[in-house]
Structure 1
Amino acid sequence: MTEFSESHDDPFALHLVALAVLDDQGVVVGWNRRAQELLGFSDTAVIGHRAFEVLVGPGELPAAREAAAKCRRADGWFGVLKVRHHDGQLVEMGLRAHAFSGDGQARQWLLAGALAADVLEWQRDRAVLDGLYRQCPIGLIVHGPDLRLLRVNRAIERFTGVPAAGFAGLPTGQMLIPDDARKSVDRVRQVMETGRPLVYSEQFVRLEQDPGRERVALVSSFRMEDSAGRILGVAEMIEDITERHRAQLRLALLDQAGTRIGTTLDVAETARELAEVMVPHLADHASVDLLQPVTRGEELTPALAGPVVRLGASSVGAQQPGPPHPHGEAVELAPDTPQARCLAAGRPVLEPVLASDWLSTEGHQGAHAPYPGVHSLIVAPLVARGMVLGVMSLWRSRRPDPFEADDLTLAQELASRAAVAIDNARRFTQQQQTAFTLQSSLLPRAVPDQPAVEVALRYLPASGAPGLGGDWFDVIPLSGARVALVVGDVVGRGIHAAATMGRLRTAVHTLASLDLEPDEVLSRLDDMVNLLAAEQEGAGERPVGEQVVGATCLYAVYDPVSQRCSVARAGHLPPVVTTPDGHAAPLELPAGPPLGLGGLPFEAREIELAEGSLLCLYTNGVIGERHIDADAGLTKLCAALTRPADALERTSQAVVDSLVSSRPSDDVALLIARTRMLPPDDVASWQLPLEPASAARARAFTSAKLTEWGLEHLAFTTELIASELVTNVYRYASGPATLRLIRERTLVCEVSDTSHTSPHLRRARTTDEGGRGLFLVAQMAERWGTRYTREGKTVWTEQPLSGMFT
């Protein structure tokens, strides 16, 4: 059996078709070589035999007899039958039968056959070819070797408006203007001579019958050859992408406008940027006219009207269309002009240019002749936050195409973006002053001296940024002489960012007072940021740039007794740790997601810090300046922190001088802490078994240590506190109790156990036998509380060293 031919020739061509001749009784009287190749029967094996006996299997006889009956009724038949091969297999073949008879001879039948798969493939190829010419939406042009058109499809009819029959015999490029025709001829000739196909080449063309309209076509060409390699011509596939190309240009203009408009917070500069973006990409001439109060930064009202000031103008030529209009001077708009109508109604205008459609000065000449060649006009209102700030006017004179509805939509989009930038500039000064006042009241003004660390702080606001950022830092004293170091950054700028920073800072103080672990503090803070975002969304207060979308935070707790520091971060930069010998490196911490995003849990890492180590916390303004690579900035930061023995204020200034520019583009928050260690003589700790005598031991240990420290005046109250706390452990907890006394600015008494049961202060009734111990502890101590660890809990108290009853 033969394989499928890739040439896809007509399987019923004379050199491919299998032929057999049957007499009127169905006896084979003729058999060609192709039939022998396909079915394996030689001519001697079939000639003289009935076709039903030799070529048709028993199972196929009903179908064969039905086909023979149809053939006799119609003197012809075409269909598919399974024919027996010499080896016994069945071959599916497409068959054509025709009756014929010679002069005076009986009727005979000519059977022409081919493999059914070849017939189907050939029919499919014919259908594809027919579809290319009749139904394909992509244009097809066939050029002959003499560079004349042989045939085009119906898509070319729609592209040119000329019937397909009118193209035959025309020279290549005949329908195009001369310049485009020459380019077309050169393109086809190059493909024909080199044989290299042209794929997706973008061509700009104008038709002779419509030279004022430029079209964009995507052209792919290839050379046609026959089986002998003879060149038959060039076929071109042409797709009209004019609308797609224009849409891409509009998107590119939108993208360009995003980087060129609103680069400064200056009203006049923004108006000029808007006019320059429009020319020449969308218009040949552009002007921007703003209401006078807008140029002065005054508050707006919905009914605001009056003179306008031209602050932006751009033109392809030297002359601007319309009447003379002094730049920067206020003029009145004539009420019949498109600009006045657009300003009054707040709706755009798209119309052909008339002689009266020009800006004019009240009391001066009325109509003005337009700039020569100007034929189309767009006037778009500059609307921001529901207020009309002015109008933008666009004219076309050099390009013949008038403005379309899509051009109007693009102009409105660009005008809206520019209007927001203009209004932001107007409001910038007032908002900046308010934000500075708010943020200065929210940041810590002074940090009290801490026994655990020595601290130096730096805060630098961004220079010229639209509103302050939400950077903050904090140093929070904790129980047990510990201290919490915090730094964070709220996403966004302005008053809302500063207010959110204040709320988060207050929340951190509240969570710190609960003595939570750093990772748990961040988890609670993450919940609060989500609540703030949901609160703003529920109140409908989500204008762009003012909503809470997240924040970053780093929270560290340092214990000067154990010299251990526990640190966790939520999407914030890792701290830099400098050892006493001067080695500075970022601390490797799990990153954690920023606050407000949710997802992965936060993780804390605990490290031991030798006395005199530096712990540097900072925001991305320190190393994230645009002109500094983040890794390079981190390297410079480490280099500035390699002298831990220097004064902290000098070290902080060295960091600012080496990394922060004189006009930083982002807020800078920097906190550097030098660790201290409490002297061992100021800490005393005892482990007490869980038995009734432990309270007495606690009183004895406490009395002896206070006498040693010279704090005998605190012995009575401290013994009572220690006794009550140890008794609570004996009654309600499990495992041994640990009593610890710490002498620093206050006297700290701590009792730890392995239980997580929280003690609650309550007022006992007169008939109650117990329940007064914790009440007495609260009365004797200046402060008290409970903190939890993974091993259990610690109840702590603080008393002033001067004593409460001295």
Structure 2
Amino acid sequence: MGAAVLEALFHQSPAGLLVLDTELRILRVHAALPVLHEAPPEQIMGRHFTDVYDLSAPGEVEAMLHSVLESGAPARGRLVGVRPKDAPEPEYLFSISASRLEDSAGRISGVLAEVLDVTECEKVRARLRVFDSVREHVGRTLDVVATCEELVQAVVPDFADIAVVEVVEAVVRGEDPPPSPLEREVPLRRAAFGHSGGKEQIQPHPVGDVRALPFATPYAQTLADLKPRLVALGPDTPWLAADPPRAEAIRASGARSLITTPLTLRGTVLGLMSLYRTYQAGLYDKDDVTLALALAAHTALCIDNARRYTREHTIALTVQRHLLPPGTAAHSTIETAHMHVPPEAGGGGGFLTFSLPGARTALAVGEVVGQGILAATTMGQLRTAIRCLAALDLEPDELLARLNDTAVSLAQERVTLPTGDPLPPTGSCVYAVYDPLAQTCTIARAGHPPPVIAHPDGRIEIPHLPSGPPLGSAEGPPFAPTTVTVADGSVLAFYTASLLHASPSGAPGSPDTLQRVLAQAERPLQDLCDDVLYRLPSDTCHGDVILLLARTHAFSADQVATWHLDHHPKDVATARTHTQHQLTLWGVDEETAYTTEIIVSELVTNAIRYGTPPVQLQLIKDRTLTCEVHDSSSLAPRLRHAKTIDEGGRGLFIIAQLAQNWGVRYSPDGKTVWAEQTLPPSTTPCPQQRS
């Protein structure tokens, strides 16, 4: 019975069987697997199994069999590559299990090895591993070139010995991919290249090279009809003559099998994936082409996502760049410099510096929460609102209150956006007005960090400013202004919260880096900005990092003239006399002087007729000539368009026609009506240039 069972097993078992003696010499071979008996039995019987079969790991298999002989414990499912001796290909993958053979007396007679051909199963598993690796690693970044590099790293060496990814140049820039079929002259960028082994591979073109593909090649034809190509490579492959540099690289690498696969999505062409196998690996087959198509489909989707991100990033940065001022404006009483590090996706940070009547200067820094186009455009709307509100000459707290109303209105408008659109972000802002005549700076903030002030005596101060609610808040405490004294030569530093987050050291929310830099505030402002920039971590990505520095200068006393007037109509003539005399001292031209006398007459007349004493006239000669008349009444003047038969009501209308700008500024002790006129360049003081 035992002999019959043994014979049936050897002749009918689907698995290959080997009987080895205790020296691992072959005693009997089952013929189920052709690779195990290509040689005649008489040539392999009695020979050591490693002399008959070329194993990928002969030492490990031999150690396993000796262990089975010594311990008696069977071994199961050891994977090993096998090919007959002197056979160049192909290599089979076998699963080897071994059991010790003993006779009835317990004497060890050898080993029974069961061999299963798992070549196809392992190929399927290997393809699945490659596919899983590509799905896991490709698409981690939103960068087109980085995505291509991730693909190359995922397929080499497990699926390809050499991999090349080429992308349409327009796609790298974020533009829409061209439709198929791809025109011959469309350039492609070699985005990624990878190879296995330590030997350097010849590249026909370096990574980053941009060129169109030769027409009479599988590469161009794959992009023409969007169909993959399985190509056998040899020294006499005819199409290689159309691309000599690539032909030289292929011959030098020993590549003998090629798959070209289009990177396509929704009928558009994004690029091309080329996979090569050399003499050290097996040839590609149709199943490998199927896998290559799956890899290309996933990669194309990831590349398109990166392309869309690049496009939005470019648009956001462009919008933000156009919304930001090209440079800080020059002022006669303040010099400024700035530093701006936008995030990768474009952010919602911004800053403003502009002149106000009375030689004053407004400074504003703000930030909208979020990134991308929405944040950039929202900040653009808020910047426009700040300029419009500043034209009304509002106090900083009132300006922020109205700016907050604007932000709330924007939020309400965007409630009607389709589902899935991002909600309007909140924001923060600090707004300051520097008055060189009083040498003060009035500041109000809305959810924004306070400025840092470096005084000329070396003191670094962070003023205690009440913090109002962030912009866009429907409720919250009112905004409160704070006026601080700033001596001539003080440096004010306004910044976004992102600068605090990017600080390499110090407590969160503490501008310690900025304070250390401002300890040497006498240096040029741009040098101070650069110093702060150099101290930022290289991976700064917390939003818009903005720093605005302003060095104050007192206004020259001989450029200001002030008179206190009696509340009597006769003082209108007195005001004109004072004005005429002062303008003569300043060397103002006759036409401007005559116009100024008319403006002064109308302003003083209105103050005496409708205002409350005391009345004060002030002339300020800066880049413009400003006439200011102050009285204690808070009654707002109103410009009227008087009729022909009216005897009065033309004062403000005349002022509006003669002056470049005019307006009203309110304060706790009354109001100031002002009018500005331009001065010829020869009579204006030189502005402070940015250091």
TM normalised by structure 1 equals 0.49
Change (3 A) 1:695 1:665: same
Given candidates 487, 504, 517, the residue that maps to 1:640 is 517
Change (3 A) 1:426 1:799: closer
Contact conserved, 2:491 with 2:550, CA < 8 A, in 1? Answer: yes
Given candidates 596, 613, 619, the residue that maps to 1:741 is 619
Given candidates 431, 437, 458, the residue that maps to 2:312 is 431
* Match in the other structure for 1:593: 469
The answer to whether the aligner puts 1:779 opposite 2:657 as a matched pair is: yes
The answer to whether the aligner puts 1:454 opposite 2:335 as a matched pair is: yes
Matches within 5 A, 1:77-96: none
Deviation at 1:654, TM superposition (A): 1.7
Equivalent-residue separation in structure 1 for 2:556 and 2:467 (angstroms): 34
Q: Secondary structure at the match of 1:589?
A: coil
The answer to whether the aligner puts 1:562 opposite 2:451 as a matched pair is: no
Change (3 A) 1:710 1:593: same
The answer to whether the aligner puts 1:487 opposite 2:365 as a matched pair is: yes
Equivalent-residue separation in structure 2 for 1:697 and 1:568 (angstroms): 39
Matches within 5 A, 1:206-285: 262=140, 265=143
Given candidates 551, 554, 557, the residue that maps to 1:674 is 551
* Match in the other structure for 1:87: none
* Match in the other structure for 1:612: 489
One-letter amino acid of the structure 2 residue matched with residue 701 of structure 1 = H
Deviation at 1:458, TM superposition (A): 1.8
Deviation at 1:259, TM superposition (A): 14
Equivalent-residue separation in structure 2 for 1:541 and 1:732 (angstroms): 56
* Match in the other structure for 1:689: 566
Given candidates 633, 647, 654, the residue that maps to 1:769 is 647
Contact conserved, 1:637 with 1:659, CA < 8 A, in 2? Answer: no
One-letter amino acid of the structure 1 residue matched with residue 410 of structure 2 = L
Change (3 A) 1:770 1:533: same
Deviation at 1:587, TM superposition (A): 2.3
Contact conserved, 1:695 with 1:727, CA < 8 A, in 2? Answer: yes
Matches within 5 A, 1:10-409: 262=140, 265=143
Equivalent-residue separation in structure 1 for 2:427 and 2:138 (angstroms): 29
Equivalent-residue separation in structure 1 for 2:353 and 2:500 (angstroms): 22
Provide Cα deviations, 1:440-474, integer angstroms capped at 9, x if missing partner: 21111133321221111222223xx2x10111111
Q: Secondary structure at the match of 2:467?
A: coil
One-letter amino acid of the structure 2 residue matched with residue 587 of structure 1 = P
Deviation at 1:268, TM superposition (A): 7.4
Equivalent-residue separation in structure 2 for 1:649 and 1:435 (angstroms): 26
Equivalent-residue separation in structure 1 for 2:605 and 2:138 (angstroms): 73
* Match in the other structure for 1:108: none
* Match in the other structure for 1:11: none
Deviation at 1:365, TM superposition (A): 8.8
One-letter amino acid of the structure 1 residue matched with residue 330 of structure 2 = D
Q: Secondary structure at the match of 1:762?
A: coil
Deviation at 1:573, TM superposition (A): 1.5
Q: Secondary structure at the match of 2:468?
A: coil
Deviation at 1:548, TM superposition (A): 2.2
Q: Secondary structure at the match of 1:456?
A: strand
Given candidates 643, 653, 663, the residue that maps to 2:530 is 653
Q: Secondary structure at the match of 2:511?
A: helix
Deviation at 1:617, TM superposition (A): 0.8
Given candidates 705, 720, 729, the residue that maps to 2:598 is 720
Equivalent-residue separation in structure 2 for 1:625 and 1:609 (angstroms): 28
Equivalent-residue separation in structure 2 for 1:732 and 1:652 (angstroms): 50
Equivalent-residue separation in structure 1 for 2:393 and 2:137 (angstroms): 48
Equivalent-residue separation in structure 2 for 1:260 and 1:597 (angstroms): 41
Contact conserved, 1:622 with 1:660, CA < 8 A, in 2? Answer: no
Equivalent-residue separation in structure 2 for 1:645 and 1:627 (angstroms): 24
Q: Secondary structure at the match of 1:480?
A: coil
Equivalent-residue separation in structure 1 for 2:426 and 2:673 (angstroms): 35
Deviation at 1:478, TM superposition (A): 0.3
Q: Secondary structure at the match of 1:499?
A: helix
The answer to whether the aligner puts 1:621 opposite 2:498 as a matched pair is: yes
One-letter amino acid of the structure 1 residue matched with residue 447 of structure 2 = G
Provide Cα deviations, 1:757-788, integer angstroms capped at 9, x if missing partner: 22222322111011122222223322222122
Q: Secondary structure at the match of 2:469?
A: coil
Q: RMSD over aligned Cα, in angstroms?
A: 4.7
Change (3 A) 1:526 1:686: same
Deviation at 1:802, TM superposition (A): 3.8
The answer to whether the aligner puts 1:698 opposite 2:575 as a matched pair is: yes
Provide Cα deviations, 1:577-599, integer angstroms capped at 9, x if missing partner: 00001222322211222111232
The answer to whether the aligner puts 1:750 opposite 2:628 as a matched pair is: yes
Deviation at 1:423, TM superposition (A): 5.8
One-letter amino acid of the structure 1 residue matched with residue 455 of structure 2 = T
Greater shift, 535-544 or 733-742, is seen at 535-544
Equivalent-residue separation in structure 2 for 1:512 and 1:259 (angstroms): 52
Equivalent-residue separation in structure 2 for 1:423 and 1:696 (angstroms): 76
Gaps of 5+ in 1: 1-256, 277-291, 306-310, 312-328, 334-342, 345-363, 369-380, 383-388, 393-417
Change (3 A) 1:774 1:660: farther
The answer to whether the aligner puts 1:551 opposite 2:427 as a matched pair is: yes
Change (3 A) 1:758 1:270: farther
Deviation at 1:701, TM superposition (A): 2.3
Equivalent-residue separation in structure 1 for 2:338 and 2:500 (angstroms): 16
Contact conserved, 2:329 with 2:354, CA < 8 A, in 1? Answer: no
Contact conserved, 1:640 with 1:658, CA < 8 A, in 2? Answer: no
Equivalent-residue separation in structure 1 for 2:287 and 2:353 (angstroms): 71
Q: Secondary structure at the match of 2:594?
A: helix
Deviation at 1:667, TM superposition (A): 2.6
* Match in the other structure for 1:166: none
Equivalent-residue separation in structure 2 for 1:483 and 1:658 (angstroms): 29
Matches within 5 A, 1:490-509: 490-509=368-387
Provide Cα deviations, 1:283-340, integer angstroms capped at 9, x if missing partner: xxxxxxxxx99x9678899x999xxxxx9xxxxxxxxxxxxxxxxx99989xxxxxxx
Provide Cα deviations, 1:687-724, integer angstroms capped at 9, x if missing partner: 22322223122222222322333337344322221121
Deviation at 1:731, TM superposition (A): 2.0
Equivalent-residue separation in structure 1 for 2:334 and 2:552 (angstroms): 5
Equivalent-residue separation in structure 1 for 2:358 and 2:653 (angstroms): 21
Count of aligned positions:
453
Instruction: Tell which has more relative contact order, 1 or 2 (C-alpha 8 A, sep 6+).
Output: 2
Contact conserved, 1:557 with 1:566, CA < 8 A, in 2? Answer: yes
Equivalent-residue separation in structure 1 for 2:150 and 2:621 (angstroms): 68
Change (3 A) 1:391 1:436: closer
Given candidates 501, 521, 524, the residue that maps to 2:399 is 521
Q: Secondary structure at the match of 1:525?
A: helix
* Match in the other structure for 1:246: none
Is the radius of gyration larger for structure 1 or structure 2?
1
Deviation at 1:557, TM superposition (A): 0.3
